Structure formats: structure tokens, C-alpha cells
Structure 1
Amino acid sequence: MLHLKVTIDKDSGFCFGVVYAIEMAEEILREEGRLFCLGDIVHNDEEVNRLEALGLRIISHEDLKFIKNEKVLIRAHGEPASTYQIALTNNLELIDASCPVVLKLQNRIKNAHDKNENIFIYGKHGHAEVIGLKAQTNDKAVVFQDLDELNLAELPEEITLFSQTTKSTSKFYEITESLSNSGIKINTNDTICRQVSNRDKLLKDFAAKFDKIVFVSGTKSSNGKVLYNICKEINPNTYFISRPEEIQSNQFNNNDTVGICGATSTPMWLMEKVKSTIEEF
């Protein structure tokens, strides 16, 4: 036995948007035993597997075109207007679990687009939330993950800048400063969810307290990658895992203190399972 002292970060786990979506899904699954969900309900394979065992069926946007007279869950990431139009055509009952923060952002982007502003969105290409945001501009908004993707010399003199809700606040303001220093007038809209961004500081404090950090997240989670890197910067002895089987006893020394934390898409039950696995070393 390595006699490890293991602590789970009480501030990690699902954000309220994900909690809301999963609670809605569980309620319907308890009553009816089946529910379609448009895309992964959360970017965590272990949680998706748990819900699929209860009767959740993950479908794609292509699948949606051929489904009629069913209930379909809209996950926290939100959807473009085209999804709602298909639902009307196919007599689908949408269980809309779109995060209120995302819906508010969609409205702000649509209003800016209606005023013919030059809209730029700091976000991950192809991410479900970003697809829904860009759709508010008839796909005219420019999406970028890094400043290097933009040719500053060719940008308009004035732009309106938004951000995907789960991006890093510090990176967003670095980008804003760089663009401003290039002579571009920016209408900055800090649209990052504070429940997510506030975890930056909390995680830094948490990661500094332990000999080793085990960060639990699905590989598809954008937020997970950001938060993992924050932990890694503070504590180089940080390990990224998606499930308990990936952690190895040789990563620890006798009497190590171990902190377990995760993304906003990581369920608490999974972190508890990781804790139990580590305590057996």
C-alpha cells in the first residue's frame, strides 16, 4: 500500500447547465425508458454510457431529418434555428435544455448581426455551441481559435468580438489587447460563463496544495483541456485521465497527497470512482 491521501475538489463537476440537461433527461427516462438526444448530452463518454444504459439514444443532425413523432432533447450547447424548423416539420417534441447563458449569447450575437456589425467569435471550430452561435449570423461570423488564424492587416477597422462561453477569460483578454494594439476598434463582449471562468483561480489554488493532481475529463471537452492546462502550469505532476482504468500506481510515491478535479462536464460519481481506485494502490 502507498498510503495515499486523496481529496476531491468540491468545486469541480457539472456546471448548472449540464446538471439541468441531465436532470431533464433522467426524468423522462424514468417515466418512458427512451429519449433521443441531439449530439452527446455532455462531453464525457462515461456519463453518456450511463445514460444510454437508461435508454438515452444519441442522434446526429442527419438522423434528426428522418425521425418523426418523438421526443428529442436539445442539450446545453444550444442549437441553430434550423433544428427547430426540422422539429416543426417532423412533429418532434423538443425537450429544450439549452443553457440560459448560451441562449443569451445567441440573442446578443443575432442583435449585433441585425445591426450589420462585423462579428468575430473566439471559439473552437466545429464545437456544437459555436455552430449555434455562428448560425445567428447566417454563418457570416468569423470564428477563430487563435489569433494566428487572423490576418490583422485585412481585418475591418471595427469589429464586434464575442467568445464561446467556456473559453479562458485571460486568453480572451489577451486577444482583445493584441487586436486593440493593432489599431482595430473592438466592441468587446465578455460572454464567458463565470461559473466556468471562476474555476481558473479555484483550480490554481487547489492544484498547488497536492503532490499529484489527477484531472478527470472526457477527451472531447474543450473546457477540460483548458482547465487541465491550468492545473499543469501550477502543478507539473498533473495527470489527465478519462476513466479510472487509465491511472497507474507507478505515478505515485508513498504518502503522496493527491488531488482529484475535473471539467464542467465531469460527473462527481466518476471522480469518486477514481478516488476509490487510487486509494487501493
Structure 2
Amino acid sequence: MRIKLAKTAGFCMGVQRAIDMALRTAETTTDGKPIHTCGPLIHNPQAVAELESKGIRSIADWRPVAEGTMIIRAHGMPIEEIGEMRARGLTIVDATCPHVVSSQNRIKRASEEGYFVVIVGDPRHPEILSLQSFAPGNHQVISSVEEVALLPEVPKAIVIAQTTFHEKQYDLIAKAVSERISDCRIVQSICKATSNRQAEVERLASEVDVMVVVGGRDSANTRRLAEIAEARGVRTIHIETADELDPSFFRGAETAGVTAGASTPAWITRSVIERLETFSS
């Protein structure tokens, strides 16, 4: 069985930057005070466990924290919560992805100019929670074409997407919004690394017999890669580690494609390929 690895597999710039900032913080913090991230720094349990071994602890709620450093993860956080952290005296290390920061600034500016903000994405995703805070009381989050009908009647709107949203789905939603609201600005906010990764997995899925998508199950961009591969009709499996691979899944396959989400460390992808190679022998 031949193995074809996607060129775009693995950490994106924003994730690598957040990891580097967190590790640098751990190395330079000498006061003994705790270092936290509010939620996992990235959506990969193995990477989060590695960070914890360096003294960087993920917590679900920052409010009980009385001192130390809080690292803002790549997805960003609601602006008012960051303000509360600063007011409490916590040291802030802002590892928000620059692409997310760009979206935050665009939303803030458009809202101040009187545009209603339509944010396209998963309403439960931390990036969306962050983006919403830049247009308080002047936005709505939608995730499908059907939800466009639920938008209020407004004179003008701006449409912007979660940076890891499905590009083709976003185009359909944005088109539907523009047909309903005549004065409509559409922002191309999906990260280029995300769109390139999605385009490559679509191409790769048409060239192989099976697809292996490696990454955390809580990672939106990784789940989307699996959905794209499945939509191409190829047998697809989404795994977090090589231990989940079952030789029977690959029976009869001559070629296997492998890709990985933006939060997947290279060492995990390598271990998957090494295990797949044992199926070839």
C-alpha cells in the first residue's frame, strides 16, 4: 500500500506561534506563579498534555485564578474577559492568531460604521465567542444557508467567517445574505492555510483508496477535512493517534492518503505513517 502525505498537513502558522509563545513563557517565568490557558491552547489532547508537562495548565474557567499568567489561545477570547483578567492583575500573554485579530478588527470597525455583522461559523466555537464580543448587540451568528432567513431586516451588513470554516459553504451562505441585504460587504476571512488544506484534501481524496485524517476530535478544522474527504466518496477515518488504526480498514486498498489538522503535531502524523507502513509490508 502506497502512502501519500498531504503537503499542507500539520501545524498552521497561528498554532505554531501560540505553542512557541507558551513554551517561551514557561521558560522565562521564574516567579513560581501558575501559568494557565483558558481552555486548551489548541484542539489536540496530546499537544495539551505535552504543554502541561511544561507547567502550562489548561482550565475551563479562568475566574477562580487569583494570580499568575494567562495565555490567550490562538482562537482568541471575548474582549471583555481579557479586560477583567487585566483588572485582576493577571499577566496576559496574547497568542491570538493574527488572522483572528484581523477579523476582530474588521468586525469592530464595521460595527462602529453602522453595519450589522453577520458572523458565519459554529456558535459554540471559541473563535466565534471572541468575534462576537467586537460587535456587542449588533451581530448574529449563522452556520447554514437556511439560517439566513432568520436575519433581521437591516439596511446594511457585513459578512465574515470563522477563519477555519468550510470555504465553499461560506461562499453559499455569503451569497444568500447578499441576495437578502442589498448593501452587503463580504469579507474573505477564511485563513489561506485552511482553504489550501481543504482544497488539497479534496484533490488527494480523488487519488487514493482510503483517507486518514489525523487530529483532535474537538478540532473544527480537522473534522472539516474528514467531511470533505467523505463527501468525495472515499473511505475515510478520523483518528487522534496511530493506536486507533485497524489493519482491516485498509484491506484491499492500494493507496492511502494522509492529512492532518492545523493543531496536529508532526510527531503524531509521523507515528501514523510509520504504523501504516507496517500494513504495507
Do they fold alike, i.e. is TM over 0.5? yes
Change (3 A) 1:153 1:65: closer
2:25 is matched with 28
Distance between the aligned counterparts of 2:72 and 2:264, measured in 1?
19
**AA in 1 matched with 2:58:** I
Q: Which residue among 169, 189, 192 is the counterpart of 2:190? A: 192
Q: Over aligned residue pairs, what C-alpha RMSD do you find? A: 2.1
**SS, match of residue 234 in structure 2:** coil
Q: Is the 8 A contact 1:8 1:271 kept in 2?
A: no
1:124 is matched with 122
Structure 1 unpaired stretches of 5+? none
Q: Within 5 Å, give how 1:21-100 maps onto structure 2.
A: 21-32=18-29, 35-60=35-60, 62=61, 64-100=62-98
Distance between the aligned counterparts of 2:52 and 2:250, measured in 1?
34
| Pairwise CA distance, 1:203 | 1.9
1:9 is matched with 6
| Pairwise CA distance, 1:273 | 1.2
1:166 is matched with 164
Calculate the TM-score normalised by the size of structure 2: 0.90
| Overall identity of the aligned pairs, in % | 28
Q: Is the 8 A contact 1:176 1:188 kept in 2?
A: yes
| Pairwise CA distance, 1:198 | 1.9
For residues 148-179 of structure 1, the C-alpha deviation after alignment (integer angstroms, 9 at most, x for no partner) is 22325853353221111111222111112223
Distance between the aligned counterparts of 1:174 and 1:128, measured in 2?
23
Q: Within 5 Å, give how 1:108-123 maps onto structure 2.
A: 108-123=106-121
Distance between the aligned counterparts of 1:177 and 1:248, measured in 2?
42
Q: Is the 8 A contact 1:152 1:182 kept in 2?
A: no
Moved more, 246-255 or 190-199: 246-255
Q: Within 5 Å, give how 1:211-230 maps onto structure 2.
A: 211-230=209-228
Q: Which residue among 242, 255, 258 is the counterpart of 1:257? A: 255
**SS, match of residue 150 in structure 1:** helix
**AA in 2 matched with 1:108:** R
For residues 238-261 of structure 1, the C-alpha deviation after alignment (integer angstroms, 9 at most, x for no partner) is 211122222211011367222211
Could you list the structure 1 runs, at least 4 aligned residues long, displaced by more than 4 angstroms after superposition.
31-34
Change (3 A) 1:249 1:84: same
1:205 is matched with 203
Number of aligned residue pairs? 276
| Pairwise CA distance, 1:233 | 2.5
Structure 2 unpaired stretches of 5+? none
**AA in 2 matched with 1:23:** D
Calculate the TM-score normalised by the size of structure 1: 0.90
For residues 204-240 of structure 1, the C-alpha deviation after alignment (integer angstroms, 9 at most, x for no partner) is 2222332221111211111112221222223511211
